[in-house]
Amino acid sequence: MTAVHQFVPALLPRDATGDHTRALRDALRAAGFNSDIFVEAAHDELQAEATYFEEYPSRAQPGDILLYQLGTSSPVAEFLLGRPEPLVLDYHNVTPEEFYAGWEEHTREKVALARAQVAELAPAAVLGIADSEFNASELATLGCPATEVVPILVDLAAITADAAEADRLAKDHGRGTVWLFVGRISPNKVQHRLVAAFWLYRQMYDADARLHLVGPAVTPDYVDALDAYVAELGLTDAVRRVEGLSAGQLAAWYEDADVFVCLSEHEGFCIPLLEAMAAGTPVVALDAGAVGETLGRAGLLLDSSRPSVVAAAVDRVRCDHDLVEHLVAAGRRRLADFAAPVTAARFVDVLRRLDTERSQVA
Amino acid sequence: MTTTPSTPISAGPEDPSSGESGSDAAAIAEASRSAAVADDVAYLDQVMVEIDAEVRRRRASGDLPASLERELDELFLEFSPVGLQGKAKMRETLALIDSSAYVDIAVPTASNKAIGVYIKKTIRKMIGWYMRFIADQIIKMFWATSRMSHVLVEHVEDLEADVEAHRTPDLPVDVVVPADLAAAWWAPKAASALSAVGGRVAVGECGTGSLVEALVASGVDAYGLDPSDLALEDAIDRGADLRAESVLDHLGVVADEALAGVVLTGAVERLRPNERGQLMELVATKVAVGGTVVLHSTTPEAWARSAPPLVRDLAPGRPLHAATWAHLLGGRGFAVTETTTGGAGGALAYVATSSPDAGAVNAAIDAVNELLGGPAEYVLVAVRER
């Protein structure tokens, strides 16, 4: 029985890559493959599901395929480059270093290293699986001999909104439009452009509007600048930053929002778009990276993040109920394309074909 | 094994009672779905056009001053380390460097336990000589860095003063008269060059939008850009896809290789050198391989003779020769396939076309003008080869 073993730098609970890795392992096992997860580090909760990557050689078997969940720099990359087994990349993209230049030197160096590792791994792999065409084209440009596009495994059907959180948010909602963005507070997500658009929106359309920014504050200098900007624009009471929500709480925040606004300038897939669709929240997003590809026609896709354009688009959503119904319905249809069983079957199919091709060659 | 992303739409169940064959039913269902998708696209496109119109209406009403969005960006820069601008911020940072450029080797020895204090003090005393040696070297490096920073800041301040002394007022947008490009001598050349590109074509500084309308009428998927909202109003009301943006701003947010063609005119005569380089980089990135660039410009000589005084005095840049654009495009993977000169910018004006023998007279005027001052304009067609 062929084994497809996964390697991931860190296996974390409540994390997109961690959830994807575990779901894929389950799908592979259900399809008859042997499949284990090898890591550089694992969260305490998941220690029993992970094996330290340097222990793999003692367990290696002929015919093994190694699948690397690639989204950050790690010694695992160097390890895999030295292995004789066929290597498959599951590429989730790495933020280009220029986004961090001037903001956070150590993160800039880390992502630069990660992109250098992608450049080394791509030509060494037998196959690159990418979340999006955007990611696949990066791999192909770097010399990956073959690519397949299969989205990240995300099971939104399993998540329901936390009732207590939903009640609390409903009481606080007020009459103003609630904007939501979910993602790391980070220069590539350009939350400051969102704040600028939001400020203009309050000036021109809805003085009671509020902006919710949900996501970890991972770039301290950018977070400080963002907070100072919010204060300078007089928005301290209107902009709320939150992190550490459970999946159920997060779903409640999506459902509470009147519009999900994403002006991120670099996304390899953008799971929050799917989360917004699942919650029935209309989406307004900048067409950058893989955003347009993921969103399809299930949102207002902007070709500019100018505050005036963003504010006008959000106001259109606020005032046009037919449009909201259209976007929400389109979102639900679009979401079906990313249903976990569909995606899992595609992963298995891709890996089975690879296994068959390699068996025939052998 | 390269494939495209699949967004599978499951085929609907066949109805055995329909009397149609399975393949017919599937074809009808597929046609119905295609029509629904097309309706969907048209609906959202219409919404986006209306959003653009709303932004233009706000600008025209004065609710949205043109400078406001730039000021919002600049305000954020004041808080960002990448945007540290101005002497005050640089001096503040220097002071921070100076105050940090010291390593204290007197490690704190406080402890919750008395024995802890004794142990820490003993360790500090034992390794003091070692720490001092290391710290001296680090402090020397800090001070060298600090001195270098002072020198750099003084240089930057000198440069800023020098640049400020040469700064000219911005060229007001409204002194540039919106052009009726469809009537220009080079419009047929542009239409011919773009007739078979098979994708979206952006027309920069499109003036009244007439060239965009003419291109669309001839089957080109064209849209227009112009920094002046007012110039665009009539054509937008007629249904043309025009945006109130500069070419540089717009190309900056277009996806890579999304365009099959670009028409550049107007602004290319007035760009600063750095903006010119930026434009070339954007064109080389946003126009797909096989795509076409049509570039029209006044010749430098004709511009010096005929541009309005305000434009000549305040324009940040000057027109280039056709050969220079060919050189710049050639360095970015484009091959120039055609360069044509023309235009009536010479000393003698045309007679009205209603005049007897106007054709012959104007041809003679062209010849005389060319003898007196050379061709007034040129249009260059280039195709991206790599």
Taking only the tens place, the pLDDT of each residue in A46-87 is 999 999 999 999 999 999 999 999 999 999 999 999 999 999
Residue A89: beta bridge partners? A68, A128
Taking only the tens place, the pLDDT of each residue in B10-49 is 333 333 333 444 556 667 666 766 666 677 889 999 999 9
Q: Are both A137 and A65 inside the same structural domain? A: yes
Least confident of A160-169, A202-211, A330-339, B70-79: B70-79
- CATH number of the domain encompassing residue A183: 3.40.50.2000
Q: How far A84 CA sits from the closest chain B CA (Å)? A: 21
Taking only the tens place, the pLDDT of each residue in A226-284 is 999 999 999 999 999 999 898 899 999 999 999 999 999 999 999 999 999 999 999 99
Taking only the tens place, the pLDDT of each residue in A277-289 is 999 999 999 999 9
Q: HSE-up of B39 (CA within 13 Å, CB side)? A: 8
Which of B23-32, B115-124, B237-246, B320-329 is the most confident on average? B320-329
A217 band by pLDDT with thresholds 50, 70 and 90: confident
Taking only the tens place, the pLDDT of each residue in B295-323 is 999 888 888 877 778 777 877 788 999 99
- pLDDT of A343 over the 60 cut: yes
Question: What's the number of domains chain A is made of?
Answer: 2
The pLDDT of B266-275, averaged and rounded, is 85
| Residue in B47, B63, B245 closest to A323 by CB | B47
Q: Are both A135 and A203 inside the same structural domain? A: no
Check residue B96 and give its pLDDT.
Answer: 65
> Nearest-CA neighbor of A121 among A82, A91, A81?
A81
Which residue of A lies nearest to B38 if distances are taken between CA atoms?
Answer: A297
Collapsed DSSP state (helix, strand, coil) of residue B202: strand
Check residue A331 and give its pLDDT.
Answer: 96
Q: Are both A300 and A357 inside the same structural domain? A: no
Check residue B15 and give its pLDDT.
Answer: 36
- pLDDT of A190 over the 70 cut: yes
Which residue of A lies nearest to B254 if distances are taken between CA atoms?
Answer: A303
Pairing of strands B377-384, B334-342: antiparallel
Q: Are both A189 and A324 inside the same structural domain? A: yes
- pLDDT of B57 over the 50 cut: yes
Q: Are both A119 and A190 inside the same structural domain? A: no
Check residue B2 and give its pLDDT.
Answer: 34
Q: How far B351 CA sits from the closest chain A CA (Å)? A: 45
Q: Are both A214 and A272 inside the same structural domain? A: yes
Least confident of A181-195, B213-227, B242-256, B365-379: B365-379
Q: Are both A216 and A245 inside the same structural domain? A: yes
Check residue B240 and give its pLDDT.
Answer: 82
A219 band by pLDDT with thresholds 50, 70 and 90: confident
Q: Are both A170 and A306 inside the same structural domain? A: yes
A361 band by pLDDT with thresholds 50, 70 and 90: confident
Which residue of B lies nearest to A134 if distances are taken between CA atoms?
Answer: B5
B100 band by pLDDT with thresholds 50, 70 and 90: low
A113 band by pLDDT with thresholds 50, 70 and 90: very high
Q: Are both A149 and A185 inside the same structural domain? A: no
Residue A41: beta bridge partners? A10
| Contact assessment for residue B268 and residue B95, using Cβ atoms and an 8 Å cutoff | no
What is the extent of the structural domain holding A355? Answer: 4-154+339-361
Taking only the tens place, the pLDDT of each residue in B176-188 is 666 778 888 889 9
Residues of chain A above pLDDT 90, percent: 84
Check residue B353 and give its pLDDT.
Answer: 67
| Contact assessment for residue B288 and residue B256, using Cβ atoms and an 8 Å cutoff | no
Which of B5-14, B57-66, B206-215 is the most confident on average? B206-215
* Both tokens assigned to B273: 């050198």
Check residue B32 and give its pLDDT.
Answer: 66
Q: Are both A311 and A347 inside the same structural domain? A: no
B61 band by pLDDT with thresholds 50, 70 and 90: confident
| Residue in A103, A297, A316 closest to B51 by CB | A316
| Residue in B3, B51, B81 closest to A148 by CB | B3
| Residue in A133, A301, A320 closest to B5 by CB | A133
Residue B336 or residue A155, greater confidence: B336
Q: Are both A25 and A90 inside the same structural domain? A: yes
CA distances from A67 to A4, A84, A149, A299, B294 (A): 7, 13, 15, 33, 47
Q: Which residues of B touch A (CB under 8 A)?
A: 1-8, 37, 40-41, 43-44, 47-48, 50-52, 54-55, 58-59, 63-64, 68-69, 72-73, 75-76, 79-82, 245, 249-250, 253-255
Check residue B173 and give its pLDDT.
Answer: 58
The pLDDT of A14-38, averaged and rounded, is 94
Q: Are both A306 and A344 inside the same structural domain? A: no
Q: What are phi and psi of A88, to 5 degrees?
A: -115, 135
The number of residues in chain B equals 386
* CATH class of the structural domain B175-384: alpha beta
Residues 6+ apart with CB under 8 A from A45: A13
B85 band by pLDDT with thresholds 50, 70 and 90: very low
> Does the model's ipTM exceed the 0.85 cut?
yes
Residue spans per domain, chain B: 22-52, 80-165, 175-384
Residue at B141: amino acid letter: M
- Contact between chains at B82 and A204 (C-beta distance less than 8 A): no
Check residue B6 and give its pLDDT.
Answer: 33
Distance of alpha carbon B216 from alpha carbon B287, whole angstroms: 19
Which residues of chain A lie closer than 8 angstroms to B249, CB-CB? 304
